[in-house]
Chain A
Amino acid sequence: MATALSLTHLGSLMRGVRSVDQVGADERAASLAKRSIKKSSKLWALDLAVRCMDLTTLEGADTPGKVAAMCAKAVRPKPGDATVPSVAAVCVYPLRIADCVQALRGSAVRIASVATAFPSGQSFTSIKVAETEQAVQAGAHEIDMVIDRGAFLSGDYQRVYDEIVAVKEACGAAHLKVILETGELGNYDAVRRASILAMAAGADFIKTSTGKVQPAATLPVALVMMEAIRDFVRETGRPVGFKAAGGIRTSKQAIAYLVITYETLGADWMTPDRLRLGASTLLNDVLMQIDKERSGAYQSADYFTVD
């Protein structure tokens, strides 16, 4: 799949991407978001949300200490309560990978690193490839790359495609998540095109956003991407994962993404191997909701760790 497609093939692939019914996508996403998930189903969903979470910190001010604290929380989200599972992965800048390797030794939590001139992606391909190689060497299990939106929007699909292929190759055994930054793509047609392009180039996951641009992840965009995944899988048989990131702060939002995933991609995607929720502040709200369901009392942020 990931071998170089010639210009004409890529052109026909992109031309073959059908357009998206925007009103229909918005309405379907809105109706799925309204679904009521209560009691034991809610607890199950919250547990899954934790297991699928990429606990993220992508700040210029990230320090080894801050990353170590986040890793501790990733392994044991609720101190003193082993029934709350570990999150799927932590997501950091490349320079912080070493801190994660140290802090997560002996745990099953994976290390994801952003790379390729995150968040803009506007740099030289050789630098992006080198950054990816170094990140993998430093111990990253997963690479979150950004596509060059400038190239994509100007119609230079070949450049975007080649870059993903090159970065995928640099990843080696590491999983590659391709960030489309849908907030900058303009419309759902472009989102669908970018999804197909990324999957054709070898992405293991496609991811909505960096979290640095507004609007970030939205439900209709997730739906469009998941439908692209569904069609791609039908065509090629290769399963591709989905990661929503950016602006997911409440349990309610997280559950809406789970519902939409289930309805679009099915039960096979309800696992951290194929679904991720990237978030920095979501975890505490999920923990509070779990406690609310268990105790029957509304919770307060005062009794949960500051992150």
Chain B
Amino acid sequence: MDVRKTYKLFVNGEFVRSESGRAYRPDGMVNVPRGSRKDLRDAVRAARTAFPGWAGRTAMNRGQILYRAAEMLDGRAAQFVELLGGGVRARRELERSVETLVWYAGWTDKLPQVTGTVNPVAGPYFNFTIPEPTGVVAIVAPERDALSGLVRRLAPVLCGGNVVVALTAESQPLAALTLAEVLATSDVPAGVVNIISGQRKELLPWLSSHMDINAIDTAGCTTDEIKAIEESAAGNVKRVIKLTKDEMSPYLISAFMEMKTVWHPIGV
């Protein structure tokens, strides 16, 4: 029997339809939920609630969970390759996604060592700087590379201890929505990653003006969209990240980190 799948949003660890009840057909065949501003609101609320728990986990534990996500993704390789259109290109994209998760899994406990510093100061203080996650990060997934495009942006944000509300590629959301099934079985706590499909034009203004979002990755946005986002993100001084290079880098992790400097008195 052929059971057709109903694609759902991933909000607070649950697979839900859009509260608006709407759907759209990105490829003319499959119905995909068309998320509304209220889905976005719910996702941000879930993310905010999940943030202290995720940020408070040990770096090692976050690494284990990201590695587990890589395992789960690899275990469903065949499904994803088919979703991505099959063939060598699809196979390569899947491998790149798995590799990305593994690579960033290794970075969780190394980032503070690399970007943190002990600062020589002219006074009786032990002065050091450590990276801390900024909070709720919105990711606008790139339109190309339906799976690896999102994974490449998602993994570094999670690695640092941030929580995510991701907007899938409008033209090809299926792989990203299916990625939610991988994350749901990887011990990623509920609310840490929320995935919404829908129309960029409709959702971006709500995303960029939301006072409870701390940073926004504009990977999938056009120049005009980025300009509008920057204007409205000024409301709560969101970080607007515009790194477009599709390569793995610790700078993509630190882009979403706040550097905290501590002055600790010594010898008094």
Contacts and interface: CB of A to CB of B under 8 A. Distances in A.
Interface of A: 296-303
Given A297-B211, A297-B235, 17 more contacts: A296-B209, A297-B210, A297-B232, A298-B41, A298-B44, A298-B206, A298-B209, A298-B210, A298-B211, A299-B211, A299-B212, A300-B212, A301-B48, A301-B212, A302-B211, A303-B211, A303-B236
26 contacts: A296-B209, A297-B209, A297-B210, A297-B211, A297-B232, A297-B235, A298-B41, A298-B44, A298-B206, A298-B209, A298-B210, A298-B211, A298-B212, A299-B211, A299-B212, A300-B48, A300-B210, A300-B211, A300-B212, A300-B236, A301-B48, A301-B212, A302-B211, A302-B212, A303-B211, A303-B236
Nearest to B210: A298
B178 to A, nearest CB: 28
Contacts of B236: 300, 303
Contacts of B209: 296-298
Interface residues of B, number: 11
Contacts of B211: 297-300, 302-303
Contacts of A302: 211-212
Contacts of A299: 211-212
A298 B212 CA distance: 7
A300 B41 CA distance: 11
A296 B210 CA distance: 9
Nearest to B232: A297
Nearest to A299: B211
Contacts of B210: 297-298, 300
Nearest to B236: A300
A301 B44 CA distance: 12
B98 to A, nearest CB: 35
Nearest to B45: A298
Nearest to B136: A300
Contacts of A298: 41, 44, 206, 209-212
Contacts of B232: 297
A289 B34 CA distance: 25
A300 B212 CA distance: 4
Interface string B205-230: 01001111000000000000000000
Contacts of A300: 48, 210-212, 236
B58 to A, nearest CB: 25
Contacts of A301: 48, 212
A128 to B, nearest CB: 41
A298 B165 CA distance: 15
Interface in B216-268: 232, 235-236
Chain A to chain B: the 10 pairs with minimum beta-carbon distance, closest first: A300-B212, A297-B209, A300-B211, A298-B210, A299-B211, A298-B41, A297-B211, A297-B235, A298-B211, A303-B211
Contacts of B41: 298
A301 B235 CA distance: 14
A45 B93 CA distance: 52
A295 to B, nearest CB: 8
A297 B44 CA distance: 13
A199 to B, nearest CB: 40
Contacts of A297: 209-211, 232, 235
Interface in B37-58: 41, 44, 48
B24 to A, nearest CB: 23
A242 B71 CA distance: 58
A286 to B, nearest CB: 16
A296 B209 CA distance: 8
A297 B212 CA distance: 10
Contacts of A303: 211, 236
Nearest to B211: A300
Interface string B93-134: 000000000000000000000000000000000000000000
A236 to B, nearest CB: 45
A233 B68 CA distance: 65
Nearest to A298: B210
Most chain A beta-carbon neighbours within 10 Å: one of B41, B211, B232? B211
Contacts of B44: 298
B239 to A, nearest CB: 15
A303 B48 CA distance: 14
Contacts of B206: 298
A203 B94 CA distance: 70
Nearest to A297: B209
B39 to A, nearest CB: 12
Most chain A beta-carbon neighbours within 10 Å: one of B41, B206, B212, B235? B212
B51 to A, nearest CB: 11
Contacts of A296: 209
A298 B232 CA distance: 12
A47 B41 CA distance: 23
Contacts of B48: 300-301
Nearest to B41: A298
